[in-house]
Each structure stands twice: as C-alpha cells, then as structure tokens.
Amino acid sequence: MPVQRFRITPTSKSALFRAKRWFYLTFYSNVSTEVREENRKIWVDLAGKIVEEINRRNAADKPARLTINYEKGPRGEFKPFSATVELMEIKTLETFTIYTSKEEEKKRLKTELEELIKKAKELGISIEELKANPEKYL
C-alpha cells in the first residue's frame, strides 16, 4: 500500500494545502474525465474529514505533518485508506547571540548598561551602593 508522507509544515492548514497540490498533480491531471470527477469527490470527502478533525482540536494554526495511506486503481483511481495528522509543538530550547566583531558586542553591552543605569535610577538605587553591596540586590 503506497504512503504519501509530507514534510512538517508551519500550520496544519498548510499541510492540507501541500496534500491538495500532491493530490491534484497525481490523481487529477493525468486521468480521464470520468475518473477525474470521481477522484475529486473522494478527495473533497477526505479533506473535509481532515479539516473537521483539525478544527475539533483547535489545531489549524499548529505545526503539523500529514501522511496519507492510499491505493491507486488501474485507471488512476484514488482510494484513500487513512490520513494521519501529527500535530507538533515548537518551543525555544535556548537563545544565544553571536557577534561578528568585538565592536558590535561592546555596543550591545554599552546599550544594556545604559538601560540598567536608567532603570536603577528610576528605582532609587545608586550605582555606588550597587557596587559596594551587589548581594543585596541579587
């Protein structure tokens, strides 16, 4: 039984769009008119079921991968058996910045220091006090 497994996409809507393009290229453009209409009806039914399940889970905007198990008939008929939707979650593991020069890093540190000094003044903290007792503010 053939399986069409698509790449992970940013949203499940885009996963379905990718599958739609695959379907129309594979089972719609190179078959007779009679088979074409039959295949289209089967595709619309399958896509409707996929959309219904995705919407039921409020997952239209979540990353996803779609896999379709199907069979191809002798005249090019599309016979899907199942569709599997893998919903994904993207989360940041770590964030870091790489500077291309020491000058860029110095500029960033200077800007951060100016912002910290401004915030310290707003909170009534003197820089001398902070230097003398850093543990007090940690």
pTM: 0.67
112 in the same domain as 54: no
H/E stretch holding 46 reads helix 33-56
Token pair recorded at residue 110: 């200077």
Query: Does residue 96 lie in a domain region?
Result: no
25 in the same domain as 59: yes
7 in the same domain as 75: yes
Domain residues for the domain of 8 are 3-87
Distance of alpha carbon 43 from alpha carbon 49, whole angstroms: 10
Task: Quote the number of domains for the chain.
Answer: 2
112 in the same domain as 65: no
Distance of alpha carbon 74 from alpha carbon 76, whole angstroms: 6
* CA distance to 63, 103, 122, per residue, from 117 (Å): 41, 21, 9
Distance of alpha carbon 106 from alpha carbon 115, whole angstroms: 14
Residue 96 has pLDDT above 90, yes or no: no
Query: Does residue 32 lie in a domain region?
Result: yes
Among the listed ranges 4-18, 98-112, 120-134, which one has the minimum average pLDDT value? 120-134
| pLDDT, tens only, 29-83 | 888 889 999 999 999 999 999 999 999 999 999 999 999 999 999 999 999 999 9
Query: Does residue 97 lie in a domain region?
Result: no
